Structure formats: C-alpha cells, structure tokens
Amino acid sequence: MKNILITGGAGFIGSHVVRLFVQNYPQYHIYNLDVLTYAGNLKNLTDIESASNYTFIKADINDGDLMEEIMVKHAIDGVIHLAAESHVDRSISDPMAFVRTNIIGTVNLLNAARKAWGADMSDKRFYHVSTDEVYGSLDNGGFFTETTSYDPQSPYSASKAGSDHFVRAYHNTYKLPVVISNCSNNYGPNQFPEKLIPLTINNILNNKPLPVYGKGENVRDWLYVVDHARAIDQVFHQGVFGETYNIGGFNEWKNIDIVQLICDIMDKKLGKAEGSSRQLITFVTDRAGHDLRYAIDAQKIMKDLGWQPSLQFEEGIDKTIDWYLANKTWMEEVTSGSYQEYYSQHYS
Ligand code: NAD
Ligand code: TYD
C-alpha cells in the first residue's frame, strides 16, 4: 500500500486526478488535501467519496507545520501538488494571495516532504503540477519546449514560475525526488465558470453578454481535462526525477473562434435559432498584460512516456457542453454567493 497526497483535489483538474487515482489504484490510499477556497468543491467528487482508499483532509498548504504533521501521520510516499490560486484575472487584482499559496504554500510542502522523508527518499516522489504560462507569450510562430526560458508576464504565471524554481532548487540542493509538468489550458467538466469556456456556456444559458477581451485574437492551446489527468498519472509513475514534461494537445484556438463555436453548438442543443447566441458576444476592455499566444510542443511526453491525448477538441467540447447542460444545479450552486460579487466587480 502506498499513501499518496494530492493537494487541490477538490478543484477542477485535481478532482479528475483524484478520481483517476482512486479508481485505477486500489493498492494506493489517496489523501485529498484541500482548503476549499471558492474554487474547491467536494461535489466534484461525490461518486468516489465513500471509496475505501480515499480520505479528504481539509487543510491549508500555507500552514507549514500542519503539512509536516500530515505527511508524517499518514506516512505519505508521494505528493501530487495541484493546490493553487489559478485565475489570471484574480492575480491582477490580488497578487499577494498568489504569492502566499503558489510560492510559500509550495515551499511549505517541499519542506514538509524533506522533513518527513529524511535521508532515505529512494521510494518517494514529489510531483509539481504547473502551467505553460511560465514561458510567457509567443507571437504567431513557434512552440514552448521544456528548454524555453521562463518569462512569466502575469502575477499568476510569475507565482507559478517561482514555485517551479523552488521545486527544481530542492532537487538540485537536497536531492528531493521531484518531477514537474507544464500543461496548456484545460477544459472539461467541473471547471469553475470564471474561466473562458464554462463562463461562455453559463452566460449563454442565462442569456447574458459573452465578454471577449480585446479583439478575441489571443490564442490558447486547449486540452481535455481527463487527458491531462492521464498525463499526470504517467508522469507520476514514469517521469524521470529532475525532469520537466510539457503537456498539450497541439490544439490552438483564437478566443473568438472558440466562443463562436460554443454559441453554434449550444444553439443546436438548445433548439435556438441559428446565430442567436453569437449576438450575445460583447468585446470588452482587454486584460492588462494579456499574453498573445500559448502553444505547447508536447513531443517529449509523447516520445518518452508514450502519452497521447485521447479526444479531439470537437468531441471534447461537445462532451463538456453536455456535462454543463446535465449539471445545471452544480453551476447554480457555484455561481451563487461570492461569484456574483466577483462577476459584477470584474465585468462592471
Ligand atoms: P482550481 O482553481 O480549479 O483548483 C485549485 C484547488 O486548490 C481548489 O480546490 C482550491 O480549494 C485549492 N486550494 C487553493 N488554495 C489552497 C491552499 N492554500 N491550501 C489548500 N488547497 C488550496 O485550479 P485548476 O484549474 O484545477 O488548477 C490546478 C493546478 O493545475 C494549478 O496548480 C494550476 O496552476 C495548474 N494548471 C491549471 C491549468 C488550467 O487550465 N486550469 C493548466 C495548467 C496547469
Ligand atoms: P482563461 O480561461 O482565464 O485562461 P488563461 O488566462 O489562463 O489562459 O482565459 C482564456 C482566454 O480567454 C484568455 O486569452 C483570456 C480570454 N477571456 C476572455 O476573452 N473573456 C473572459 O471573460 C475570460 C474569463 C477570458
């Protein structure tokens, strides 16, 4: 039996990782550690919450002593660290929250692992899940590879870059057995509707304007969340210590094209007149320092670990829209309360 600590497991990507590990590895005990910020939701995990190899721990990674206590008490062998503040727009209005959780919280976990594991770390591993945004912004050519220099442009990406540097430094200095992956934009079920795709779906459902920043020309490289969870499984088990793996589906879209695609699919699914949702598209003031383009070269993980995305985007976006249509209560619950306040402040 191995004991695996997954941080941020009640969030969007974390909940898919927790489910995959609980279901695929009955020989592991999965501890899901999450403080349940606005983005954490235990309803993402109701299908596996009573599994005998699953335990939820409500705790804050900003509490370093508590992290060490938890690592020791549960004899943790492996950490998959996803807990983070994850939204660029929020990082622009409150950067300190990102410094605390993303940098200090990560260093707390690194220290806890070092202390709990002592000198013999032969069967241990610390996996840090990061983003392609650490590489900065591309113009219209080229891709981010694992050797691209870090050039973060937003407080979010700067905080993730800082955490990546600390993880590498603990490998270099203390021989902590670490592995890092940097993934492109995820989409799929359970994503909090502050992010572009679920926000667009929710606003179409509520007949509200669809805010597109600037001219909608910015490009993102989208990967279905379950394919990211599958990649995390492979990197955790087969990744070489000290190495970085870029994860992405070679699937670039301009924001305006994605919003229009969602409009057209939803018009069909909702029986609305062709073109009616597109009329909701509203161009709004651009995000400060808005990165133009992200694009991942994922050849290393494909060649070295044999990972491939399983879904084409057209299939993935269709499944995603179906999930939100079938889970309107989930959306209503997460958009009540503080989300309304955030939304009216941000989009006023
Ligand atoms: P999310 O915002 O949906 O979830 C984050 C989770 O972390 C939430 O459950 C939240 O409650 C928890 N959390 C936040 N602060 C915490 C703290 N101090 N202590 C304990 N738990 C805390 O984020 P996500 O989109 O699922 O992203 C997960 C990870 O993957 C992040 O590290 C993010 O940087 C990275 N990532 C995300 C994307 C993406 O497109 N969403 C792409 C690449 C990498
Ligand atoms: P987002 O989902 O916030 O992810 P990230 O900023 O991490 O890439 O945004 C994706 C893209 O969509 C990004 O270029 C910003 C843009 N965007 C809008 O045009 N309107 C919106 O309301 C949001 C939330 C994002």
Residue 37 region, left (φ>0) first, then alpha (ψ -120 to 50), else beta? beta
CA distance 1 to 4: 10
Residue with the two structure tokens 């929710």? 202
For residue 283, is it within any domain? Answer: no
Q: Is the pLDDT of residue 1 over 80?
A: no
What would the DSSP string read from start to end of 216-259? S--EEEEEEHHHHHHHHHHHHHHPPTT-EEEE--S-EEEHHHHH
In a domain, 264, yes or no: no
Ligand 1 center to 125 CA (angstroms):
20
Which H, E and C letters describe 45-114, residue by residue? Answer: HCCCCCCCCEEEEECCCCCHHHHHHHHHHCCCCEEEECCCCCCHHHHHHCHHHHHHHHHHHHHHHHHHHH
CA gap 316, 310 in Å, rounded: 9
- 11 Cα–ligand 1 center, Å: 6
Q: How many angstroms does the Cα of residue 219 sit away from the middle of ligand 1?
A: 22
In this structure, is residue 12 part of a structural domain? Answer: yes
Which residues form the domain of 39?
A: 2-188+221-251+289-313
Q: What token pair was written down for 156? A: 């979010």
Q: How far apart are CA 287 and CA 121, in angstroms?
A: 44
Residue 346 has pLDDT above 90, yes or no: yes
Residue 152 lies in a domain: yes
User: What does the pLDDT look like over 112-133, one tens digit per residue?
Assistant: 999 999 999 989 999 999 999 9
Write the residue with the smallest CA distance to atom 5 of ligand 2: 88
Percentages helix, strand, coil for the chain (3-state, rounded to 5) are 45, 20, 35
Q: Comparing C-alpha atoms, which of 256, 252, 258, 185 is closest to residue 216?
A: 256
131, 157, 183, 255, best to mutate for ligand 2 pocket (most atoms within 8 Å of CB): 255
DSSP labels, 23-48: HH-TTEEEEEEE---TT--GGGGTTT
Per-residue buried b or exposed e for 72-82, using 16+ beta carbons within 10 Å of the residue's own CB? eebebbbbbbb
- Give the closest ligand to the alpha carbon of residue 153: 2
pLDDT band at 140 (very low <50, low <70, confident <90, very high): confident
Is residue 220 a contact partner of residue 252, using CB atoms and an 8 Å limit?
Answer: yes
181 neighbors 247 (Cβ within 8 angstroms): yes
135 in active site: no
What is the mean pLDDT of the segment spanning 178-198? Answer: 98
Please tell me the distance from the alpha carbon of residue 62 to that of residue 53, in angstroms, as a whole number. Answer: 26
Q: Classify residue 138 by its DSSP letter.
A: B
What is the number of other CB atoms lying within 10 angstroms of the CB of residue 65? 10
Residue 268 lies in a domain: no
What count of other Cβ atoms lies within 10 Å of the Cβ of residue 299?
13
Please name which ligand lies nearest the alpha carbon of 257: 2
Average pLDDT for the chain = 98
User: Tens digit of pLDDT for each residue in 300-338?
Assistant: 999 999 999 999 999 999 999 999 999 999 999 999 989
134 C-alpha to center of ligand 2: Å? 16
| Active-site position among 156, 170, 187, 343 | 156
- Whether residue 50 is contained in a domain is answered as yes
**Side-chain-side CA neighbours of residue 299 (13 Å):** 5
Catalytic residue among 60, 77, 132, 291: 132
Told to judge if 156 belongs to the known catalytic residues of this protein, a careful annotator would answer: yes
- Is residue 331 assigned to a domain? no
Q: Give per-residue pLDDT as tens, 19-72.
A: 999 999 999 999 999 999 999 999 999 999 999 999 999 999 999 999 999 999
Can you spell out the DSSP letters for 281-334?
A: EEEEPPPTT---B--B--HHHHHHH-----S-HHHHHHHHHHHHHHTHHHHHHH
User: Active site includes 133?
Assistant: yes
Q: What pLDDT is attached to residue 219?
A: 98
Strand partners, 131: 183
User: Is the residue at 326 inside a domain?
Assistant: no
SS3 116: helix
Local structure of 209: helix, strand or coil: coil
Share of residues in the chain with pLDDT > 90 (%): 98
Residue 48 has a pLDDT of 98
Closest ligand 2 atom, CA of 216? 19
Tokens for 317, please give them: 């976006």
Query: Residue 80 in contact with residue 17, Cβ under 8 Å?
Result: yes
- Give, for ligand 2, the residue of 220, 253, 294 to mutate: max count of ligand atoms closer than 8 Å to Cβ: 220
Instruction: Domain count for the chain, please give it.
Output: 1
CATH code assigned at 176: 3.40.50.720
Which percentage of the chain shows pLDDT scores above 70? 100
The pLDDT, as a whole number, for residue 337 is 87
159 CA distance to ligand 2 centroid (A)? Answer: 18
Cβ atoms of residues 15 and 44 within 8 Å: yes
**The amino acid at 85:** E
Model confidence at 246: pLDDT above 80: yes
Q: What are phi and psi of 216, to 5 degrees?
A: 75, 15
Nearest CA to ligand 1 atom 10: 40
